[in-house]
Amino acid sequence: MNKVIIRVKDLRKTYKTYKRGESFKDTVKSLFARQSINLDALKGISFEIEKGELLGFLGPNGAGKSTTLKILTGILYPTSGDVYAMGYVPWKDRKRYVTNIGAVFGQKSQLLWDIPPADAFYMNRSIYGIAQKTFKNTLNDMTDLLDVGDHIHRPTRQLSLGERMKCEFIMAMLHRPSIVFLDEPTIGLDILSREKIRQFILEMNKSGVTFILTTHDLSDIEHLAKRVIIVNHGDIVFDNSLDDLRRHTGNIKLIRLSSHDEIGDIQIRGVEVTENLSKYNVEMILDTTQTGLNEFVRQIGIQFRLSDLIIEEPPIEDMIKELYLDREAESKK
Amino acid sequence: MIAENQFIRGVKAHFQAIKAALAGRMAYRGDFLLSTIIMLMAEMFAPAITFLIYSNGASFPGWGIYEVLLIQSIFMMARGIAFPFFFGMVWNTLSRVREGTLDILLIKPLGLVHLIIMTAFDCNDIGKLFGGVLLFAISMKHLPFPGFMQWVQFLLLFILSLVMLFAFALIMSALAIVWVGNSRIFEMFSAVTSFSQYPLSIFSKPIQTFITVIIPLGLLGFFPASVLLGKYSPQITAAIVSSIFFLIASFWFFKKMVRQYTSTGG
């Protein structure tokens, strides 16, 4: 039987923020009186995570992903609700709890800019009190896995983004945490670095480490996660397997078409042109339940002299829209 | 996996952080030397004014030039210890809150105050300490040498002056958590602490009460100097008690403000 490692119940977080107009008058006015507004970042979400899971937390910008992650790591206090992670309340037992977790923030570095990552690793060794032998073994394993042995002794500022990100992973994993939180860990990375990091995550997950990955990049989820939670406007709109998500949204493809000829009406079932980028370039959505991909490519090849054809997964916003539409349709039945 | 107790871990981590900060600082050696000299010159402003006052025949009533310089040297020494070793926490908090990198410290298994202090070590300010020690030595050379008990009392009051500076740093860091990006915090501190560089007796009674009982700024220079000079002030006890309350209040305030931390957007 799998063991629940994180239990979240009715978690809410409300930020108080201030509203100001754009004009000069509004700016001056805001010096004396500001209009405060409450922003509900999380509206009472509940879920559980089992030991050894690799969970994807998906959602558009501002959906509440990072807020959830920051509460789960003990960084933020929630407005209300309960979180028990490995028997701790993260924000109350922060010091003891964080010895068991690691985190990589794609946009916030744990490394020190002017000195080599190796020095930062040694600092982490002291902070976590890792025995010298364990530290050396772990460091060797990780540098081999991520192929950064040559880079860790160069000043951080001289490393490429990919090399830096690999070192961020080492920094987060040196103390062998049981849970690792990843916030947009592959943002801005090239395909090779991205692949290496994904392999590393899968390898660590196989050894029993629980990963919670927040991203708005669907390809990260597809390569890594088995279970997906989608949040939108502070609510969970989907919590199930990746296969189930595909059943809901995998029928929709985003297609960019470029032709040598002017593109007129496209007479293919299930196609909806969403944007005419120019006379020769259009963007469209294809519902593959009406016309399969093979058939679509065959028909489009007959109708136009193609110069380029790009088939992609739809953006996360479209997927959420699709999820809502599916739910509405299901509730009407 | 975790092999050591928290205290040893904390001490080792602190030294490692200082080592890392020094290594980082040495990457820009020219800037380091220049900054140290500029810091020292800026710190010499008050002693220079004192020297000008006395060389023009004026004085602080009841106080000789070397007695005033002694107060100012103690103030400089206290800052010379505080600024490199813990006062940098104010700027560290200010920038980390603005950039959202306080998050990085909050996921480490040490106290937040300790983490902010150890990642804020700044050797530039060591110039203040050298300047203070030099001025202290010059002043003492022209003053009667104090007895053993006076040195002991001085040492205790000097430690309290560091406690006061620590409490100030904690309050300012706490303010930086909710008052995001307000770099004027430090100017407010400079204005308030400038009272402590001069003999208490030159101020009016309400100000004297303020800097001994309410916020015991007198501990930053005046009181430690006065015991060395044998000029015991009746307000010392009130200042000592007040400084302990000030420290407790600053911890309480910091803890309260950390709860308000909102981080930055993802």
Contacts of B17 in chain A (CB under 8 A): 123
Query: pLDDT digit string (tens) for A57-90?
Result: 888 888 898 899 999 999 999 999 999 999 999 9
Both structure tokens of A156: 């951080």
Nearest one of B47, B264, B236 to B136, comparing CA atoms: B47
User: What confidence tier does B265 reach under pLDDT thresholds 50, 70, 90?
Assistant: low
Q: Looking at the structure, tell me whether residues A96 and A141 fall in a common domain.
A: yes
Identify whether A320 is part of a domain.
no
Cβ–Cβ below 8 Å for B103 and A95: no
Residue A167, H or E segment = helix A161-173
pLDDT at res. B4: 60
The residue from A197, A228, A244 where one domain ends is A244
- How many angstroms separate the CA atoms of A229 and A47, rounded? 9
Inter-chain residue contact A184 with B266, CB threshold 8 Å: yes
Residue A56 falls within a domain, yes or no?
yes
Residue A31 lies in a domain: no
Last residue of a domain, one of A244, A271, A304: A244
Do A151 and A218 fall into the same domain? Answer: yes
Question: Quick check: A129 and B100 CB within 8 A?
Answer: no
Higher pLDDT, B159 or A277: B159
Look at residue B1 in the predicted model and tell me its pLDDT.
47
Which residues of B fall within a CB distance of 8 Å from A184? 266
Q: What is the CATH number of the domain that holds A266?
A: 3.30.70
Answer whether B95 touches A (CB < 8 Å).
no
Instruction: Give per-residue pLDDT as tens, A209-228.
Output: 999 998 877 778 888 898 99
What is the average pLDDT score of chain B? 87
Distance of alpha carbon B152 from alpha carbon A27, whole angstroms: 56
Which sequence spans correspond to the domains of chain B?
18-258
> In whole angstroms, what is the distance from residue B244 CA to residue A259 CA?
78
> Is residue A295 domain-shared with residue A175, that is, in the same domain?
no
Residues B261 and B97: beta-carbon distance below 8 Å: yes
Q: Is the pLDDT of residue B2 over 60?
A: no
Taking each continuous run of H as one helix and of E as one strand, the counts in chain A are 11, 13
Nearby residues of A257 by Cβ (< 8 Å), 6 or more positions away? A263, A281, A282, A283, A284, A300, A304, A306, A308, A309
| Ranges of H-type helices in B142-229 | 148-178, 185-193, 205-209, 222-228
Q: Does A196 map to a domain?
A: yes
Crossing angle for the helix pair A316-332 and A242-249, to the nearest 10 degrees: 80
From the CA of A125, how many Å to the nearest CA of chain B? 8
Q: Are residues A87 and A216 both part of a single domain? A: yes
Token duo for residue A33: 């009186």
User: Is A328 a residue whose pLDDT tops 90?
Assistant: no
Say if residues A170 and A121 touch (Cβ distance below 8 Å): yes
Does B58 reach chain A within 8 Å, measured CB to CB?
no
Best of B1, B95, B257 to substitute, by most chain A Cβ atoms within 10 angstroms, is B1
User: What is the arithmetic mean of pLDDT over B16-36?
Assistant: 79
pLDDT tens sequence across A127-159: 999 999 999 999 999 999 898 888 999 999 999
Quick count: other Cβ atoms within 10 Å of Cβ B141? 9
Q: With respect to residue A160, please indicate whether it lies within any of the assigned structural domains.
A: yes
Size of interface A-B (CB pairs under 8 A): 109
User: What average pLDDT score do residues B108-120 get?
Assistant: 94
**pLDDT(B193) > 90:** no
8 Å CB contact between A14 and A79: yes
> A95 or B4: which carries more pLDDT confidence?
A95
Mutate: best of A126, A187, A215, A231, partner B, most B CBs <10 A: A126
> Is A319 among the domain residues?
no
A237 with A302, same domain: the answer is no
Give residue B49's pLDDT.
82
Contact state of A99 with B15 under an 8 Å Cβ cutoff: no
Quick one: what percent of chain A has pLDDT higher than 90?
A: 50
Query: Over 70: is that where the pLDDT of A333 sits?
Result: no
- Rg, chain A, Cα only: 23
Q: How far is B252 from chain A (nearest CA, A)?
A: 16
pLDDT band per the 50, 70, 90 thresholds, residue B266? low
Residue A237 domain flag: yes
How much is the pLDDT for B247?
A: 96
CA distance A300 to chain B (A): 40
pLDDT in tens, A79-126: 999 999 999 999 999 999 999 999 998 888 999 888 899 999 999 999
Cβ-defined contact of B261 to A74 (cutoff 8 Å): no
Check pLDDT > 80 for residue B177: yes
- Give CB contacts under 8 A, 24+ apart, made by A165-169: A165/A104, A165/A106, A165/A189, A165/A193, A165/A197, A166/A193, A166/A196, A166/A197, A166/A200, A167/A111, A167/A117, A167/A120, A168/A104, A168/A109, A168/A110, A168/A111, A169/A104, A169/A142, A169/A197, A169/A200
Do A168 and A286 fall into the same domain? no
pLDDT at B144: 92
The torsion of the CA quartet B186, B192, B194, B199, rounded to 10 degrees, works out to -160
CB contact under 8 A, B263 and A70: yes
Contacts of B24 in chain A (CB under 8 A): 112-115
What pLDDT score does A141 carry?
92
Q: CB–CB of B111 and A95 under 8 A? A: yes
Phi, psi of A98 (to 5 degrees): -70, -10
pLDDT tens, A169-185?
Answer: 999 999 999 999 999 88
Contact between A130 and B101 using a beta-carbon 8 Å cutoff? no
Nearest to B24 among A62, A102, A114 (CB): A114
Most confidently predicted of A7-21, B45-59, B161-175: B161-175
Q: Do A108 and B99 touch (CB under 8 A)?
A: yes
Same structural domain for residues A153 and A276? Answer: no
Choice among A112-116, B88-92, B179-183, B220-224 with the minimum mean pLDDT? B179-183
What confidence score (pLDDT) does residue A204 get?
A: 93
DSSP-assigned beta bridge partners for residue A88: A85
* Inter-chain touch A115–B9, beta carbons under 8 Å: no
Instruction: Identify the H or E element spanning B80.
Output: helix B65-82
Q: B256 at the A interface (CB within 8 A)? A: no
Nearest to A163, CA basis, from A145, A173, A153, A151: A151
Q: B1 CB near a chain A CB, below 8 Å?
A: yes
Secondary structure (3-state) at A210: strand
Residues A167 and A271 in one domain: no
What confidence tens digit (pLDDT) does each residue in A40-52 have? 999 999 999 999 9
**Of A70, A77, A112, which is closest to B103 when you measure between CB atoms?**
A70
3-state helix vs strand vs coil in chain A, percent to 5: 40, 30, 30
Interchain contact, B3 vs A108, CB within 8 Å: no
Of B9, B101, B107, the CB nearest to A101: B107
Average pLDDT of span B230-235: 84
Rounded CA-CA distance A117/A111 in Å is 6
Structure-token match 């899968």, residue found? A202
User: Among A34-38, B2-6, B119-123, which range has the highest average pLDDT?
Assistant: B119-123
The pLDDT tens digits for A152-171 are 999 999 999 989 999 999 99
How much of chain B, in percent, has pLDDT values that exceed 90? 48
* A181 & A127 share domain: yes
pLDDT at A1 over 90: no
Which of A95, A107, A109 is closest, CB to CB, to B109? A95
Predicted local distance difference test score (pLDDT) of residue A331 = 67
Closest among A227, A188, A186, A187 to A205, alpha carbons compared: A227
Q: Which residue of A has its CA nearest to B16?
A: A123
* Whether residues A183 and A82 fall in one domain: yes
Write the burial class of residue B195 (CB in 10 Å: 0-12 exposed, 13-18 middle, 19+ buried): buried
Residue among A73, A94, A129 whose CB faces B4 most closely: A129
Distance from the B99 Cα atom to the nearest Cα atom in chain A, whole angstroms:
8
Residue B246: strand, helix, or coil: helix
Residues 27 through 46 of chain B touching chain A, CB cutoff 8 Å: 27-28
Tokens of A262: 């002017």
Q: Taking 70 as the threshold, does the pLDDT of residue B102 lie above it? A: yes
Alpha-carbon distance B163 to A69, whole Å?
36
Write out residues 136-165 of B within 8 Å (CB-CB) of A: none
ipTM for the assembly: 0.80
Report which of residues A195 and B46 the model is more confident about.
A195
- Regarding whether A73 and A194 lie in a shared domain, the answer is yes
Hey, are the CB atoms on B16 and A122 less than 8 Å from each other?
Answer: yes
Say how far apart CA B41 and CA B261 lie, in whole Å: 37
Pairing of strands A281-287, A235-241: unpaired
Domain count, chain A: 2
Contact A167, A197 (CB under 8 A): no
CA dist B94 and B185 (Å) reads 10
Which residue segment(s) compose the domain that A297 sits in?
A: 251-312
Tokens, residue A273:
């042109």
Contact B101 A108 (CB under 8 A): yes
> Residue A282 falls within a domain, yes or no?
yes
Least confident of A18-32, A45-59, B142-156: A18-32
* Residue-wise DSSP of B196-220: GGS-GGGS-HHHHHIIIIIS-GGGG
Clarify whether residues A280 and A223 are in a common domain.
no
Give the pLDDT band (50/70/90) at residue A56.
very high
- The answer to whether the Cβ–Cβ distance between A66 and B104 falls below 8 Å is no
The pLDDT of residue A7: 96
**A284-304 pLDDT, tens digit each:** 988 888 899 899 999 998 888
- Interchain proximity A123–B13, CB inside 8 Å: yes
